[in-house]
Amino acid sequence: MSDTSSIDSIFTKIIKREIPGKIQYEDDQFIVFNDIHPQAPVHVLIVSKEPHESLEKISTEDIHFHAELLLVARKVAKLLGIQKSYKLMMNVGAPAQEVMHLHLHLMGGWK
């Protein structure tokens, strides 16, 4: 089982529409919105709606989660028209990870 201990992050507030975010995609499991400090012409964050702190809190047996995260990344890359070339990046744990709410960076759109 994955650890779903409750966290209240800035991303939870975006999920609950308590603070604004430029939402690009949403389904039952993930929400995708623009990064506030973009490192690429297209830079979105694929955020788990379940408040997992980081990848290390997801059970290795939870194959569905790992697979669905990558499938959503592919889907959103296509949605944003960057499917030919993009970069996926994930910070795991402090100090690398700033926001302790599992998310995958999707970047692209370079000419």
Looking only at Cα atoms, what is the longest distance across the chain? 42
- How many residues bind ligand DGP, per CB under 6 A? 12
Which one among 24, 25, 35, 79 touches ligand DGP, defined by CB under 6 A? 35
Establish whether 64 is a catalytic residue.
no
CB-based burial, 21-36: b 16+ in 10 Å, e otherwise: beebeeeeebbbbebe
CB-nearer residue toward ligand DGP: 67 or 94: 94
What is the closest distance, in whole angstroms, from the C-beta atom of residue 21 to ligand DGP in the complex? Answer: 5
Q: How many Cα atoms are found within 13 Å in the side-chain-facing hemisphere of 54? A: 13
Residue 28: CB minimum distance to ligand DGP, A: 21
Active site residues: 103
